[in-house]
């Protein structure tokens, strides 16, 4: 069949794009035709459908109030995206559409167009934007479920949780309210949640009449699954350096565990604070800031670590950082929050600690370093088997293809 993949970024921007492009390759390997719809960008990967892509719309950075308000109209509904998609549909005639990120740039105008043409739509949920205007269920750095509890989005408007901006929060509130009032989510045929946690949150909200199913993300076909052969012994954190990632909790735990080194790969707003923490606590000989790393370098860094630490303080969905580390047989020490504990069998493929607690994280680190070589190697082998079983691209391909087949026969949303 011909599958239309819709995502607002057509280059690697985050985990959703990792999934988006891996999905494309998986579908092609399964014999399907794949076409794309996205935004224009100089970083885009080559694509035959670029003439249909829409101009890049950016809502971050400083803008005048007038410009923000003008952009706000496009933020809610893009008639241009709808028109361009119509042209693409008329030319390519896809059997089904698989959507990832569309809010705010492409907008749900594209869903309307797909629905109008009777094309079933599968939507993979990479964040919580369908039930939380801030996408992350965070408000000023703290977990917030007020919009979920009240079944409206007034909290976002009142507390200004979007980038500490009243204007951006107002626009997000309007978008969320517009989508709910117009029942746009009912036009999605099927929602896929990569973690049981995100499925439960969305089902609890009753945001759509359409089914929400659990189907964990997969690793690409070229993934090499291999137990640890050798390592340099350091613990590794990699990802965005921002408060919700829990890096300060990790540093506080490292202080109390003598002889353990930590490498931190990534960049972000928290870097100056991390540098200050390292200096004031005399950790320069034990904590190494590696900065941003490309995927090739990152794979080498992961291969050299003893374990990966994921101390997140927000509702992570299905982190690729955990999946990719496990493919290399690396134990993961992860917080018991969001979808993280679904990927770790405590004591067998890693260790789960109490989120927000440096003391609990310290205990998990000690559990790891107290493993002798035989115990560590046994754990590494178990991790690889877990990864093969849970992230297999063939299993995902078979299940997704069956879903596509059932949806193209009968559109289940009236």
Question: Secondary structure of 216-261 in the HEC alphabet?
Answer: CCCCCCCCCCCCCCCCCCCEEEECCCCHHHCHHHHHHHHHCCCCCC
Residue 104 pLDDT class (50, 70, 90 cuts): confident
pLDDT for 154: 93
Residue 68 pLDDT class (50, 70, 90 cuts): low
CA 361 to chain centroid, in Å, comes to: 23
Residue 402 pLDDT class (50, 70, 90 cuts): very high
Homologous superfamily (CATH) for 2-220+392-409:
Glycogen Phosphorylase B; (3.40.50.2000)
Number of H helices, E strands in the chain: 15, 14
pLDDT for 14: 87
Same fold, 2-220+392-409 and 235-390: yes
CA angle 404-410-412, nearest 5°?
Answer: 90
pLDDT in tens, 226-273: 998 778 889 999 999 999 999 999 999 999 999 999 999 999 999 999
Q: Which two tokens stand for residue 83?
A: 């028109």
Beta strand 142-143 pairing with 138-139: antiparallel
Residue 411 pLDDT class (50, 70, 90 cuts): very low
pLDDT at 211 over 50: yes
pLDDT at 412 over 60: no
- The CA-based dihedral angle spanning residues 116, 118, 120, 125, taken in that order and rounded to the nearest 10 degrees: 0
Alpha carbon distance, N-terminus to C-terminus of the chain = 23
CA count, 13 A, side-chain hemisphere, 409: 6
Q: In what order do the strands lie in the sheet with 96-99?
A: 33-37, 2-6, 96-99, 121-124, 190-193, 212-214
Tell me the domain boundaries of the chain: 2-220+392-409, 235-390
Sign of CA dihedral 126, 200, 337, 236: negative
- For 22, 162, 340, 368, the CA distances from 176, given in Å and listed in that order, are 29, 13, 27, 44
Residue 59 pLDDT class (50, 70, 90 cuts): low
The neighbouring-strand residues paired with 235 are 262, 307
- CA–CA dist 296, 14 (Å, integer): 15
Asked if 204 contacts 221 with a C-beta cutoff of 8 angstroms, the reply is no
CA count, 13 A, side-chain hemisphere, 168: 16
pLDDT in tens, 172-191: 999 999 999 999 999 999 99
Find the mean pLDDT for residues 320-327: 96
Find the mean pLDDT for residues 213-230: 92
Find the mean pLDDT for residues 364-376: 96
- CA–CA dist 151, 396 (Å, integer): 33
Residue 292 pLDDT class (50, 70, 90 cuts): very high
Residue 414 pLDDT class (50, 70, 90 cuts): very low
CATH classification code of 235-390: 3.40.50.2000
pLDDT for 410: 45
Nearest CA to 318 among 5, 18, 6?
18
User: Mean pLDDT score of the chain, rounded to an integer?
Assistant: 93
pLDDT for 56: 86
pLDDT for 195: 98
Residue 73 pLDDT class (50, 70, 90 cuts): low
CA angle 107-108-112, nearest 5°?
Answer: 140
pLDDT at 306 over 90: yes
- pTM for the full model? 0.92
Find the mean pLDDT for residues 307-319: 97
Instruction: Dump the DSSP string for 14-66.
Output: SHHHHHHHHHHHHHHHTT-EEEEE-B--TTPPP-TTGGGPBPP----S---HH
Asked if 328 contacts 302 with a C-beta cutoff of 8 angstroms, the reply is yes
pLDDT at 413 over 50: no
The neighbouring-strand residues paired with 122 are 98, 190
Least confident of 37-51, 52-66, 112-126, 256-270: 52-66
Find the mean pLDDT for residues 211-238: 93
pLDDT at 143 over 60: yes
Find the mean pLDDT for residues 348-367: 98
């Amino acid at each position: 069949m011909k599958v239309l993949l819709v995502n607002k970024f057509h280059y690697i921007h985050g985990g959703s794009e990792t999934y988006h492009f891996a999905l494309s390759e998986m579908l092609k390997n399964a014999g399907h035709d794949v076409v794309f719809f996205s935004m224009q960008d100089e970083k885009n990967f080559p694509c035959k459908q670029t003439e249909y892509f829409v101009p890049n719309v950016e809502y971050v950075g400083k803008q005048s109030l007038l410009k923000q308000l003008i952009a706000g109209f496009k933020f809610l509904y893009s008639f241009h995206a709808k028109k361009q998609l119509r042209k693409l549909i008329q030319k390519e005639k896809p059997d089904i559409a698989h959507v990832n990120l569309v809010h705010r740039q492409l907008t749900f105008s594209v869903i309307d167009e797909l629905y109008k043409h009777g094309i079933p739509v599968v939507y993979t949920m990479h964040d919580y934007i369908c039930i939380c205007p801030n996408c992350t269920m965070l408000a000023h750095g703290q977990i917030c479920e007020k919009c979920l509890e009240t079944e409206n989005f007034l909290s976002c408007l009142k507390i200004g949780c979007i980038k500490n901006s009243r204007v951006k929060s107002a626009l997000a509130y309007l978008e969320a309210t517009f989508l709910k009032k117009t029942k746009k989510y009912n036009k999605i045929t099927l929602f896929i949640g990569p973690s049981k946690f995100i499925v439960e949150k969305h089902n609890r909200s009753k945001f759509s009449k359409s089914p929400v199913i659990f189907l964990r993300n997969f690793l690409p076909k070229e993934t090499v699954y291999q137990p640890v052969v050798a390592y340099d012994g350091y613990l590794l954190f990699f990802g965005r350096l921002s408060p919700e990632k829990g890096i300060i909790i990790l540093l506080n735990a490292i202080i109390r565990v003598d002889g353990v080194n930590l490498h931190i790969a990534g960049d972000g707003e928290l870097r100056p604070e991390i540098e200050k923490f390292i200096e004031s606590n005399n950790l320069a000989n034990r904590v190494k800031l590696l900065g941003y790393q490309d995927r090739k370098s990152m794979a080498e860094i992961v291969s050299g670590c003893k374990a990966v630490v994921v101390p997140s303080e927000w509702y992570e969905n299905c982190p690729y950082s955990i999946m990719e580390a496990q493919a290399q047989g690396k134990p993961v020490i992860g917080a018991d929050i969001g979808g993280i504990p679904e990927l770790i069998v405590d004591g067998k493929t890693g260790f789960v600690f109490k989120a927000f607690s440096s003391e609990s994280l310290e205990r998990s680190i000690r559990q790891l370093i107290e493993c002798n070589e035989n115990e560590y190697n046994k754990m590494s082998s178990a991790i690889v088997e877990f990864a093969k079983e849970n992230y297999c691209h063939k299993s995902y391909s078979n299940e997704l293809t069956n879903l596509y087949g059932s949806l193209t026969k009968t559109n289940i949303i009236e």
